[in-house]
Amino acid sequence: MKSTQIILTSIFALGFSAVAHADAVPTHSKDFAGNYQTLVKDQQAAPRIADCIASAYDYVKKSKKYDRLGFTKDDISGAKTNDKPSKFSTGDARKMSAVISVAGEARNRNASAKWDSIVLRCGIAHGKLKAIELVPNTVGK
């Protein structure tokens, strides 16, 4: 009976660890502070939006799919913040106190002339950025 419990516990643990999550927020690179300041001062981004986008610039450095992000001033001013506590995404059920969405473009790493329309999504919990993901923009720009 003990071995059956151990096996079942292991199966459940593996199953729960395999649940999809948004990617972890990257540690800030040496470029983060400069990117953040540019977004706040030059682009008039709100601090949470600037934190999200500056973190995304760090995030994309390690991305297998994209190597560069682009956001216009209109993209930044049109960023949406949902302050209603909710799940981060369908693939990541972690509770967030706010989710930021910013439309933009991302350049494909393997086809440098091809840019995809994307939505940057950042999840905030307990006042800190906890989740980040780039999803295709199905609405278009």
- Locate the DSSP E strands across 18-138: 66-70, 80-82, 86-89, 92-96, 98-108, 115-125, 128-136
Instruction: For residues 62-74, give the mean pLDDT.
Output: 95
Q: pLDDT, tens digit, for every residue of 2-43?
A: 554 544 444 444 333 333 456 778 899 999 999 999 999 999
Backbone angles phi, psi at 91, to 5 degrees: -90, -10
Per DSSP, helices labelled H in the chain are: 2-17, 32-41, 47-60, 73-77
Q: What pTM does this model have?
A: 0.82
CA 117 – CA 35 distance, rounded (Å): 21
Asked if residue 95 lies in contact with residue 87, where contact means CB atoms within 8 angstroms, the answer is yes
